Amino acid sequence: MTEATFRPGNAAVADAAKSPPRPVKKNLLPYSGYHTNKEVEHDPELTEVGPGTTMGEYMRSFWHPICMSMELTDTPRFLKILGEELVAFRDKSGQIGVLHAHCVHRGASLEYGAIQERGIMCCYHGMVFDVDGTCIHVPYPKGEEAEAERFGCSIRQGAYKAFERHGLIFAYMGPPENEPPFPEWEENFTVAPTDELVAYSNFQHCNWLQVQDNAADNYHPTALHAGKNVVDGHFQGTTFDEVGANSMEVAPDMQFVPVHQGRSLACAGARRVDSERLFIRVQHQVLPNLSLHAYTSEDGKAQKYFSRFHMIRWTVPVDDRNSKMIGWRVMGPGIDTRGVGDKSLVGYETIDFLEGQVAMRRPERFGKYKLEDMPEIPSDHRARHNYKDAQYAPGDYEAIISQRPIAVHALENPTKFDAGVYAFRKMLREAARGTNPAASAQGFADWLRELNGMPNSYCSGNVLNVREAPVLADEVANRRKIAKQLVMMLTESDKLRGEERNAFVRAGLQKLEQQFDQA
């Protein structure tokens, strides 16, 4: 034998030659569609929202916007929320009612009822129900008043407490004895005296969670909203090129930090505007379905400290396969420093800041929509008359609904820039299961009561005068450090309120500028 026979590893090589080869993963072979054509089930724990489901019961513990004020006319509005068929109406005394759609007497739908001075009258037999579900009138033959009164006291229409705020109708659909405070984020959502909250509602033909996932996906603008990716120049205004800055097409360095004891997620992204300025945008995702967005049209050309809410959005499940993006756009010079917002395009089935957010594209291209022409009935999105436009320049709507009616998480292959999506799902699961008591329904309600219903948000847009580091590795490190330190600063400021907090954060941002611009 030669010396080589006894070198370390030779025995292992010989043994390997005798053992069978490692199996090839069939899904990695060329043309392997056959091996990947078996779809698995969606994740019911996070996606299904009907009564009695894990997520459905958790979500019923929160206030949700269910429709716009303008949807309440002289006839009742049929709605489906969290899988329940409802009617919403404003009675002639001004009270808001949200009742189960089917009359407790014989099941006729109250969507055909007549709105009364007080409550609503069923069309079938004339029974009248107040906004709390009390039966306040039963038709009766003369002489049978006592029997009618007894019957009226024996029934009650299912009803949910509701109120109106800045063009939206909110309802609480959980146990009445557990009603939580309505979260007044930073005392009326930090609207400057010059600005206003403008309501909007956009129907989404897919499960609620993939719509909410999109808000935590801070990388998709670099592809989906990039003008360079529009097919052959068929440009319909779907991109940040028209409303924002090219810097929004730059992939951000992201830091995803669970905050508020796991009740919410701070998504801090640092982008280089140019060699002199750094744009740091913090999106705030709040359990279960609220997202708070900083200025969407930032061009990064001027220094900016602690710019606040520009979009406030709830993703409200209609049922397991449909949902709504419903909330407020903050409009006015206090937030929209570039003056590019268009209030006339914010409303029912329309939004102004990006084309491709809703099922139908800009109204001026296809004629103004009327409420009665836009029923919330799912339809094949490929049958839309602007389908070709959507293929040329798809927007969030197309990307989200095309993930299937209910996205199948088991088929996903995430990368590190999907970390925010997966972090939020994990937080949501822990909250719904009760394994994070702070984020449970009871824990959330107790927290809001401690804060008098006014928690602080991490949402902010910031443009810092920080020069680019000459060495790429140092530049990357600086971006990440600044984003992390900003989140830490916002956490430290959480004990403060109003202008005192604003001053604290702005002073901290000035220190960050000095620290890193001189590094």
Is the pLDDT at 242 greater than 50, yes or no?
no
- Other CB atoms within a 10 A radius of the CB of residue 181 amount to 17
Highest mean pLDDT among 34-48, 118-132, 143-157: 118-132
Interatomic CA distance for residues 488 and 14, integer angstroms: 56
- Structure confidence by residue, pLDDT tens digits, 68-77: 999 999 999 9
Banded model confidence at residue 13, pLDDT cuts 50, 70, 90: very low
140-154, 168-182, 445-459, 483-497: the lowest-pLDDT one: 140-154
Question: What's the mean pLDDT when you consider all of the chain?
Answer: 87
Interatomic CA distance for residues 407 and 47, integer angstroms: 9
Banded model confidence at residue 373, pLDDT cuts 50, 70, 90: low
Neighbour order of strands in the sheet with 120-121? 114-115, 120-121, 128-129, 135-137
Torsion of CA 136, 138, 142, 143, to 10 degrees: -80
Comparing CA positions, the residue from 459, 453, 451, 204 lying closest to residue 330 is 459
pLDDT reported for residue 177:
96
Interatomic CA distance for residues 60 and 53, integer angstroms: 10
Interatomic CA distance for residues 61 and 85, integer angstroms: 18
> In this structure, what DSSP letter does residue 225 have?
T
Coil, strand or helix at 279: strand
pLDDT reported for residue 8:
39
Quote the pTM value: 0.89
pLDDT reported for residue 15:
45
Domains of the chain: 63-178 (2.102.10.10), 196-518 (no CATH)
Angle between helices 472-492 and 498-517 (to 10 degrees): 160
Distance from the first to the final alpha carbon of the chain: 63
pLDDT reported for residue 351:
85
- φ, ψ (nearest 5 deg) of residue 380: -65, 115
110-114, 145-149, 272-276, 390-394: the lowest-pLDDT one: 390-394
Interatomic CA distance for residues 79 and 5, integer angstroms: 79
What is the mean predicted confidence (pLDDT) over 348-362?
Answer: 73
What is the mean predicted confidence (pLDDT) over 196-205?
Answer: 95
Interatomic CA distance for residues 50 and 39, integer angstroms: 23
26 or 365: which leads in pLDDT = 26
Query: Cis ω on the peptide bond leading into residue 288 (within 30° of 0)?
Result: yes
Q: What percent of the chain has pLDDT over 90?
A: 66
Is the pLDDT at 394 greater than 90, yes or no?
no
Interatomic CA distance for residues 169 and 180, integer angstroms: 17
Q: What percent of the chain has pLDDT over 70?
A: 85
Q: Which amino acid is at 414?
A: P
Return the beta strands (E) in 91-234 as ranges: 96-100, 114-115, 120-121, 128-129, 135-137, 159-165, 168-172, 196-204
Return the beta strands (E) in 260-369 as ranges: 264-272, 278-286, 290-293, 304-307, 311-319, 322-331
Kindly report the CA angle at 468 between 462 and 470, in degrees rounded to 5?
A: 165
- Structure confidence by residue, pLDDT tens digits, 85-101: 999 999 999 999 999 99
pLDDT reported for residue 381:
54
Banded model confidence at residue 354, pLDDT cuts 50, 70, 90: low
What is the mean predicted confidence (pLDDT) over 333-337?
Answer: 94
Banded model confidence at residue 340, pLDDT cuts 50, 70, 90: confident
Banded model confidence at residue 102, pLDDT cuts 50, 70, 90: very high
- Structure confidence by residue, pLDDT tens digits, 229-240: 766 766 544 444
- Structure confidence by residue, pLDDT tens digits, 445-479: 999 999 999 999 999 999 999 999 999 999 999 99
- Structure confidence by residue, pLDDT tens digits, 29-47: 788 788 778 778 999 999 9
Decide if 107 contacts 100 (C-beta within 8 A): no
pLDDT reported for residue 296:
85
Banded model confidence at residue 10, pLDDT cuts 50, 70, 90: very low
- Structure confidence by residue, pLDDT tens digits, 251-269: 788 999 999 999 999 999 9
58 or 246: which leads in pLDDT = 58
pLDDT reported for residue 226:
72
Highest mean pLDDT among 46-50, 214-218, 224-228, 294-298: 46-50
Coil, strand or helix at 268: strand
- Structure confidence by residue, pLDDT tens digits, 158-175: 999 999 999 999 999 999
> In this structure, what DSSP letter does residue 465 have?
-
